[in-house]
Amino acid sequence: MTKTDVIGAAQAGSEAAVLPKSVLREYLETIVVFVLILMFARTFVFMQSKIPTESMLDTLLVGDYILVNRMLYGAPGDDGPLWLGQRPIARGDVIVFRFPRDPDVDFVKRVIGLPGDVVEVREGYAIVNGVPLDEPYVKLAERGRHGSTGPRRVPAGHYFVMGDNRDNSNDSRVWGFVPRSVIKGRAFFVWYSFKEQKNDHLNTGFKRLVSMSRKVIFFYSRTRWHRLFHRIE
């Protein structure tokens, strides 16, 4: 074998060793990376939730699908703004949290009282540290049985929350304060909205199948198109 033959054989072997990836392999790698990024974002950055009741009318409607920023507040115990732009929980924020009496259930309410605040509710409206809050988001059709309460001081590490639909909200007026440790994040975005019955998520078995079929059949006519990508204030 001549020197030229040896060089040619070496080049052929080198080209064989760097054969291009198959199209299928490239697709699989892309899908795996996308799934990993999606799982990370769902666990640490954003979560999705659906509004099943009328407690936050008219800010949030039954059938609103919302996105929740899980990073905005940082971790419990974080103090002050962090390098990713986190900030403390603020009065007026709409938050998602584990219900203190049943950690398997998520609630969505508005923050009214911060740690150390003295909160009083008169006829459905909040008074914090002796000053009535400006609450343009409040919905009051009639004076409910939980319309007035307090004054009560919010303990350290806890928050006083209420629904915007003050006559139809199971909130801090009834069961007390929300510990910081159960707060998941701030609701900031309605990405989809569908007109559906209250507590649709409780349907099981055949009723669940009917509910899912209804969403497919009436997708166009019952989608609230004007609420898509609606910012939560």
Mean of pLDDT values over 142-168: 84
| Whole-number Å distance between alpha carbons of 59 and 187 | 11
- Across the chain, what does the average pLDDT equal? 81
Spatial contact of 92 and 146, defined as CB atoms under 8 Å apart: no
Mean of pLDDT values over 157-169: 93
Domain total for the chain?
A: 1
- Residue 192: CB partners within 8 Å, gap ≥ 6? 64, 65, 223, 228
Which residues participate in catalysis according to the annotation? 55, 109
211 pLDDT above the threshold of 60: yes
Categorize the per-residue pLDDT at 116 as very low, low, confident or very high, splitting at 50, 70 and 90: very high
Provide the 3-class DSSP secondary structure of residue 207: helix
Answer yes or no: pTM beyond 0.85.
no
- Residue 95: CB partners within 8 Å, gap ≥ 6? 89, 108, 109, 110, 111, 159, 161, 178, 183, 184, 185, 186, 187
| Whole-number Å distance between alpha carbons of 179 and 97 | 9
Q: Which helix (H) or strand (E) holds 103?
A: strand 102-113
Classify residue 190: in a domain, yes or no: yes
17 pLDDT above the threshold of 50: no
Classify residue 201: in a domain, yes or no: yes
CATH number at residue 130: 2.10.109.10
Query: What Rg do the C-alpha atoms of the chain give, in angstroms?
Result: 26
Spatial contact of 129 and 120, defined as CB atoms under 8 Å apart: no
